[in-house]
Amino acid sequence: MTPGMPMTPGMSTTPGMPMTPGMPMTPGMPSGQGMPQGMGQGMGPGNPNWGAGNSQPNGINPRNNTPRSDNRRPESTVGSVIFMIFAGTAMCINGFGNLWLIVRAFQTSMLHGLLVLFVPCYSLIFIITQWEEAKEPFSVMVCGFLLMCLTMGVTVLVSV
């Protein structure tokens, strides 16, 4: 719409927004001016709930229709970080033990190394039959497993 052009019913004052003749207009505005009724009242920067993370009006929690309290801090943030640190450490220890076991199997013989690497559960057979070569890597793997169990147990007890 160019400045000075007279408004006719059905014209929009917003560029790129076509208006249908007879569309209800915003209350208090003369016909042909403003936005159609209902426009600009959805979820957007003009809405007081914009950014509240829900589509319910007035900050209502959609799960149980109770008032939403957005000022609470998630309780599990610090616990999650600590859990991830201990779980990651346990997995690294266990992975180091597994790699060490594979190296020991290859040091014993090429066949044992390939079997430990490619045959499921052969590492258990290797640990039993070649205990003297496998006891140090096995003990490292057990330490990693116990640390993971301890981490998960403490996390479950703290979350209750």
Instruction: Please identify which residue in the block is written with the tokens 């979820």.
Output: 43
pTM of the model: 0.52
Q: With respect to residue 32, please indicate whether it lies within any of the assigned structural domains.
A: no
Residue-wise pLDDT tens digits, 2-43? 555 555 555 555 555 555 555 555 555 555 455 555 554 555
Residue-wise pLDDT tens digits, 65-78? 666 565 555 556 77
Which residues share a beta bridge with 67?
60
Please give the tally of structural domains in the chain. Answer: 1
Q: What is the distance between the alpha carbons of residues 79 and 60, in angstroms, rounded to a whole number? A: 28
Residue 84: domain span: 76-155
Q: With respect to residue 7, please indicate whether it lies within any of the assigned structural domains.
A: no
Q: With respect to residue 80, please indicate whether it lies within any of the assigned structural domains.
A: yes
Q: With respect to residue 138, please indicate whether it lies within any of the assigned structural domains.
A: yes
Q: With respect to residue 120, please indicate whether it lies within any of the assigned structural domains.
A: yes
Q: With respect to residue 63, please indicate whether it lies within any of the assigned structural domains.
A: no
Q: Which of 102, 95, 100, 78 is nearest to 148 (CA)?
A: 95
Q: With respect to residue 160, please indicate whether it lies within any of the assigned structural domains.
A: no
Q: With respect to residue 67, please indicate whether it lies within any of the assigned structural domains.
A: no
